[in-house]
């Protein structure tokens, strides 16, 4: 059913494309100028620039995504008004950002905190506007024959707005004054989008509330994705494809800034150089769109996605091997990244749109947007940490490893007959288990680490190229903690999604936590101290929090051994459940171990401890609720029985 909103917007398709371009322009300039703004006005040391920039980007993305999800039902009921509200947030956040250091002094808050708030406003507005625009584009037509044209046109405008215009603006040698002037551009862009939507939609706004939006529910979306291997590959691609766009923008700019002092140029000139190369990347992305459109129209979209992923993987891995971002060969991998990104983005969006039922177009697009947001949080945060601890090229190694894994998954699908014919029908219909995909993603952290070791070499007791052994130990410990937290959160997630089938992956996630914890302990014993037991004992006494980690590791060994089905059967269900209640104690011990071991400068330990406490509180409350429900049922049965017999169960005979 075409509503007045959809009918109006169908007659004015330029609104879709221009507002998409303006929204992406705001985000690109905000992210691109963030490192320089923090350096100029808050004097962020380069040694911490990667972590702090990534942390700021991730925290604002996380809060913005949370607000978008929580307010999404309201937004779906009032699409145009929600779009207006989203751009209003973008406008206010963009207006606050250039003057955050002044506002912070005036109102008594830190300038950096005010900048955080402004970035949250921009992130929420940009996220919500993209959700709304994607939904409205797909609701323009009741059939899906125009999906290629619509999504490709929107993507062209996103590229024009984000990379091309941003690249041109960054050519200006930025002083403090010019930096503020360039940061006015997002304000004008948001204001233009706001005015354009309001002026165009005002005559068509109904006085009565619009009809409720069609919504299929999260459980139905999961059913649709689980039933088609092409959607699973597209969803996995969405996890990386949005993050690589932001990561290249952020980390390449930081990389160029890091070389400014070595080359004797200003940091503004370094950002201008980064903008020039990003401009070329944008042209490569834009120029490859017709090729990908033609290729996917005549052949398999799975093969197209696999080729695009392989081109992107080679681009990122080549970029990670370049020592100087001002060197000529840096253009080649950036062009490959642009071409690969173009194919991945078009193929994943078209598959998501064309393979989804009409009633689920909006919800499926929102799930893809959500997964892309989670990819930004995961990959940008990890990339920022690696940027500081290992080197400026390592974020690109991380992204290249992910693209390479997905290329292998696409190749596995094609070799097993899960591919499309020329008319885009599947050669063989097969419902894939998601376990191989889960297994592959869980192996990604250790694969990246092993790849770095194989490339740079290693000698015991020293370091791995630029990678200190202490970093390897911390890296593996962090991932062990991450998997333990994911395992703890898995049951609540399955209950919130109303998908008990997700619990089948819980054991594998928990065992991966044990796997990374084992590597963490082995690194400490074999690589860091090279089996020097006297030194190990002295170090443990010197840092008592290691005892907490050792106790947690012993408990993890017990849980891992008893996860074997034959052992579990011998123990009996009651004893097995009682032992596995220690997962709460393990997470508390690991949380305290992490809290005392980590630096508190960026607030990360507090966030982890808070997450542990929230998850444990949720699990304890759920267990209490499960115990009270049988008690209520038994009391109800006794009450019904007493009424039938005419006796009072509380009255003594």
Q: Is the pLDDT of residue 88 over 60?
A: yes
Q: Same structural domain for residues 21 and 77?
A: yes
Q: Same structural domain for residues 425 and 461?
A: no
439 within domain boundaries: no
Where residue 167 falls among pLDDT bands split at 50, 70, 90?
low
Q: Same structural domain for residues 340 and 388?
A: yes
140 within domain boundaries: yes
Q: Is the pLDDT of residue 207 over 70?
A: no
CATH number reported for the structural domain that contains residue 143 in this entry: 1.20.1250.20
Q: Is the pLDDT of residue 209 over 60?
A: no
pLDDT at 524: 92
Q: Same structural domain for residues 473 and 419?
A: no
Query: What would the mean pLDDT of 1-19 be, rounded to a whole number?
Result: 54
Q: Same structural domain for residues 476 and 420?
A: no
* CB of 486 closer than 8 Å to CB of 509: yes
225 within domain boundaries: yes
Cα distances (angstroms) measured from residue 202 to each of 7, 44, 207, 541 = 14, 45, 11, 71
Among 221-230, 363-372, 637-646, name the one with the lowest average pLDDT: 637-646
Query: What would the mean pLDDT of 160-169 be, rounded to a whole number?
Result: 56
- Given CA atoms 8, 9, 10, 15 in this order, what sign does their dihedral have? positive
Q: How many CA atoms lie within 13 A of 253 on its CB side?
A: 31
Instruction: Report the first-to-last Cα separation within the chain, whole angstroms.
Output: 68
Among 216-225, 469-478, 485-494, name the one with the lowest average pLDDT: 216-225
Query: What would the mean pLDDT of 222-244 be, rounded to a whole number?
Result: 82
The phi, psi pair for 458, rounded to 5°, reads -160, 145
447 within domain boundaries: no
pTM for the full model? 0.71
- Between these two residues, 429 and 559, which has the higher pLDDT value? 559
Where residue 170 falls among pLDDT bands split at 50, 70, 90?
low
Q: Same structural domain for residues 147 and 32?
A: yes
479 within domain boundaries: yes
Q: Same structural domain for residues 408 and 520?
A: no
Count of structural domains, the chain: 2
Q: Same structural domain for residues 376 and 462?
A: no
Q: What is the extent of the structural domain holding 405?
A: 4-432
**Averaged confidence pLDDT in the chain:** 75
Query: What would the mean pLDDT of 5-15 be, rounded to a whole number?
Result: 53
Of 252, 258, 272, nearest to 48 (Cα)?
258
Q: Same structural domain for residues 550 and 612?
A: yes
Q: Same structural domain for residues 404 and 487?
A: no
Angle between helices 435-456 and 506-522 (to 10 degrees): 20
Q: What percent of the chain has pLDDT over 70?
A: 68
Q: Same structural domain for residues 462 and 425?
A: no
Instruction: Please report which helix (H) or strand (E) contains residue 518, including its range.
Output: helix 506-522
Q: How many CA atoms lie within 13 A of 67 on its CB side?
A: 20
629 within domain boundaries: no
Q: Same structural domain for residues 386 and 318?
A: yes
Instruction: Convert the pLDDT of each residue in 112-162 to its tens digit.
Output: 778 878 877 887 777 777 767 766 665 554 444 445 555 555 555 555 555
563 within domain boundaries: yes
**Distance, CA of 568 to CA of 575 (rounded, Å):** 9
Instruction: Convert the pLDDT of each residue in 283-312 to its tens digit.
Output: 888 788 889 888 888 888 889 999 999 999
345 within domain boundaries: yes
pLDDT at 206: 45
The helix/strand/coil state of 417 is coil
Q: Is the pLDDT of residue 55 over 70?
A: no
Instruction: Convert the pLDDT of each residue in 600-613 to its tens digit.
Output: 665 678 778 888 88
């Amino acid at each position: 059913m075409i509503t007045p909103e959809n009918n109006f917007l169908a007659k004015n398709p330029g609104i879709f494309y221009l507002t998409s371009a303006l929204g992406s322009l705001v985000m690109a300039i905000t992210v691109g100028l963030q490192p320089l703004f923090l350096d100029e006005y808050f004097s962020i040391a380069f040694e911490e620039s990667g972590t702090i920039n990534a942390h700021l980007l991730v925290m604002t993305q996380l809060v913005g995504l949370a607000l978008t999800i929580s307010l999404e039902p309201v937004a779906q009921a009032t699409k145009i008004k929600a779009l207006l509200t989203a751009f209003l947030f973008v406008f206010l956040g963009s207006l606050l950002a250039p003057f955050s250091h002044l506002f912070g002094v005036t109102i008594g808050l830190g300038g950096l905190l005010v900048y955080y708030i402004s970035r949250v406003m921009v992130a929420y507005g940009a996220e919500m506007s993209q959700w709304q625009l994607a939904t409205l584009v797909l609701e323009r037509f009741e059939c899906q024959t125009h999906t290629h044209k619509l999504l490709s046109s929107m993507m062209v405008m996103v590229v024009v707005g984000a990379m091309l215009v941003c690249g041109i603006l960054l050519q200006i040698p930025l002083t403090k004054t010019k930096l503020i002037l360039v940061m006015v551009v997002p304000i004008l862009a948001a204001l233009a989008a706001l005015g354009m939507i309001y002026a165009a939609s005002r005559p068509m706004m109904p006085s009565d509330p619009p009809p409720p939006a069609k919504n299929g529910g999260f459980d139905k979306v999961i059913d649709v994705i689980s039933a088609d291997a092409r959607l699973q590959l597209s969803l996995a691609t969405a996890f990386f494809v949005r993050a690589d766009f932001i990561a290249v923008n952020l980390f390449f700019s930081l990389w160029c800034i890091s070389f400014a002092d070595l080359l004797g140029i200003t940091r503004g000139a370094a950002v201008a150089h980064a903008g020039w190369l990003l401009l070329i990347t944008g042209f490569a992305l834009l120029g490859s769109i017709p090729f990908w459109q033609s290729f996917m129209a005549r052949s398999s979209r799975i093969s197209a996605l696999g080729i695009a992923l392989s081109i992107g993987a080679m681009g990122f891995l080549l970029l990670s091997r370049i020592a100087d971002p001002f060197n000529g060969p840096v253009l080649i991998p950036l062009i490959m990244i642009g071409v690969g990104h173009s194919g991945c983005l078009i193929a994943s969006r078209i598959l998501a749109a064309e393979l989804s039922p009409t009633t689920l177009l909006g919800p499926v697009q929102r799930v893809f947007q959500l997964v892309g947001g989670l990819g930004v949080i995961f990959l940008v945060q990890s990339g920022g940490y690696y940027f500081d601890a290992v080197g400026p090229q390592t974020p690109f190694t991380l992204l290249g490893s992910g693209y390479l894994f997905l290329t292998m998954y696409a190749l596995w699908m094609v070799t097993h007959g899960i591919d499309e014919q020329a008319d885009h029908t599947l050669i063989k219909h097969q419902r894939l288990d998601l376990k191989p995909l889960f297994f592959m993603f869980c192996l990604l952290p250790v694969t990246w680490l092993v790849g770095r070791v194989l490339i740079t070499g290693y000698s015991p007791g020293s370091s791995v190229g630029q990678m200190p052994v202490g970093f390897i130990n911390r890296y593996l410990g962090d991932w062990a903690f991450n998997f333990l937290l994911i395992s703890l959160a898995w049951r609540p997630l399955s209950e919130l999604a109303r998908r008990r089938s997700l619990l089948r992956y819980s054991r594998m996630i928990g065992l991966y936590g044990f796997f990374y914890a084992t590597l963490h302990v082995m690194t400490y014993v074999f690589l860091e101290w090279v089996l020097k037991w006297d030194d190990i004992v002295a170090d443990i006494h010197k840092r008592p929090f290691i005892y907490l980690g050792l106790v947690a590791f012993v408990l993890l060994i017990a849980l891992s051994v008893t996860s074997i089905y034959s052992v579990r059967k011998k123990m009996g269900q009651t004893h097995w459940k009682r032992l596995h209640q220690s997962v709460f104690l393990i997470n508390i011990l690991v949380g305290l171990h992490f809290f005392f071991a980590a630096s508190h400068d960026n607030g990360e330990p507090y966030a982890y401890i808070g997450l542990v406490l929230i998850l444990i509180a949720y699990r304890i409350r759920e267990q209490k609720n499960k115990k009270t429900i049988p008690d209520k049922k038994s009391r109800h049965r006794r009450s019904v029985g007493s009424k039938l017999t005419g006796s009072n169960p509380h009255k003594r005979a």
